[in-house]
Amino acid sequence: MRASQKDFESALSQVKLLKDPGNEVKLKLYALYKQATEGPCNTPKPGVFDLINKAKWDAWNALGSLPKETARQNYVDLVSGLSSSSDSSSQVKPEADRKQPGYETLVVTSEDSITKIMMNRPAKKNAMTTQMYNEIMLALKAASKDDSAITVLTGNGDYYSSGNDLSNFTDIPPEGIEEKAKSGAILLRDFVDCFIDFPKPLIAVVNGPAVGISVTILGLFDTVYASNRATFHTPFSHLGQSPEGCSSYTFPKIMGPAKAAEMLIFGKKLTAAEACAQGLVTEVFPDSTFQKEVWTRLKAYSKLPPNAMRISKQVIRNREKEKLHAINAEESRVLQERWLSDECTNAVMNFLTRKAKL
Ligand SMILES: CCCCCC/C=C/C(=O)SCCNC(=O)CCNC(=O)[C@H](O)C(C)(C)COP(=O)(O)OP(=O)(O)OC[C@H]1O[C@@H](n2cnc3c(N)ncnc32)[C@H](O)[C@@H]1OP(=O)(O)O
């Protein structure tokens, strides 16, 4: 439900009654207030020595073109969070309460300045349906605008993800299979574009085996933590398909062309340790302590200044963006053709009729 003007005014009164929430939160409140009442920052930037006004300006300016209504809603949410935490500062909200509504294939939560997007089809090994691709795009777009500092993608259950849900290939529209391939290529391109453009630090918490597109997009993440149970498998030739997720470019760059070819052409499955040795994974943790160690680390990272982290990411990634979009477009175009091939159709049919597994 959207916050009304009345909710906003009541949050403005409430904020005066709170105990000092600290400078960082005060800056957030200031920025959201200005955005909600005046819109995007268009006043001249204060000089470097005018420290306080410059910090305020930076916080406001960082909200970019966030719509007034969203800023108003975020202000109300922030004040309500501050009020409830000062009512009972040690109370931990159960995950169900923090869960963002509106997702069927994901569980999306925001806490400790971390937005966590968890793929949630454990019985199907988190295979990605068309709905899941669309929901991940929505969740990434929302996370890029929320007040979290970092964003995490992970999986529920024993798998991280088994990649594209092969039944995506079965609901052929009346216009025919060509049309299906065309819409699939558009969806794929849009999906990967969201990762290329994602502005904040993006972390993959790979809790178990990863297959296909869930592996290839890892080259677009800033950090990849893996359980020692995780494996990394891109069996495109087995499926009559070809690489996507910009892996035809990022993998040779990360691990060198010879190792990339073994994965992307011959479908060699890597263990977590091998993927780490080849630079695809940042660090591997024992499965028994994986969640605890990773989340402790991420909570510490999420307290770093968010603007500095975002800008560092831009400096690292921006010069590649245009190239990555072109590669994504080309990979999607090639796959569109592959999906119409007998090799691909037979491989998908063999899986769906239980004749083959990876
Ligand atoms: C818009 C389109 C964009 C497309 C981009 C291109 C993307 C390419 C790729 O991602 S290629 C990779 C595709 N993935 C696969 O080929 C994996 C297929 N799955 C398997 O081989 C196996 O299921 C397994 C090895 C992942 C796990 O085996 P096992 O541990 O024995 O479990 P089950 O096979 O019993 O699986 C449980 C349950 O989940 C269903 N399932 C698993 N993965 C998929 C999948 N990728 N697509 C559809 N369904 C999947 C499986 O059928 C079982 O369902 P059931 O219980 O029988 O109803």
Encode pLDDT of 279-323 as tens digits: 999 999 999 999 999 999 999 999 999 999 999 999 999 999 999
ipTM of predicted complex = 0.99
List of long-range contacts for 291-298, beta carbons under 8 Å, 24+ apart: 291/207, 294/205, 294/225, 297/225, 298/114, 298/150, 298/152, 298/203, 298/205
CA distance linking residue 4 with residue 357, whole number of Å: 53
The protein residue with its alpha carbon nearest to ligand 1, atom 50, reads 124
Whole-prediction pTM: 0.78
Query: Ligand 1 center to residue 46 CA distance, Å?
Result: 55
Please give the radius of gyration of the chain, using alpha carbons only, rounded to the nearest integer: 22
Q: Taken in order 103, 106, 108, 114, is the CA torsion positive or negative?
A: negative
- Parallel/antiparallel/unpaired status of strands 231-233 and 270-271: antiparallel
CA distance linking residue 125 with residue 122, whole number of Å: 5
Query: Ligand 1 center to residue 162 CA distance, Å?
Result: 5
SS3 102: coil
Query: Ligand 1 center to residue 321 CA distance, Å?
Result: 31
Among 131-135, 176-180, 196-200, 245-249, which stretch is predicted with the lowest mean pLDDT?
176-180
* Tokens read off for 296: 């402790």
Q: Taken in order 156, 159, 160, 163, is the CA torsion positive or negative?
A: negative
| pLDDT tens by residue, 187-242 | 999 999 999 999 999 999 999 999 999 999 999 999 999 999 999 999 999 999 99
Q: Is 167 in the pocket of ligand 1 (CB under 6 A)?
A: yes
Report residue 94's pLDDT band, with 50, 70 and 90 as the boundaries: low
Q: Which residue of 125, 338, 345 sits with most ligand 1 atoms within 8 Å of its CB, as the best mutation to test the pocket?
A: 125
Of 94 and 308, the one with more pLDDT:
308
pLDDT at 33 over 50: yes
Q: Is 301 in the pocket of ligand 1 (CB under 6 A)?
A: no
Mean pLDDT (whole number) for 258-267: 98
Mean pLDDT (whole number) for 135-154: 97
114: enclosing H helix or E strand: strand 114-119
The protein residue with its alpha carbon nearest to ligand 1, atom 45, reads 165
Greatest mean pLDDT among 78-82, 109-113, 230-234:
230-234
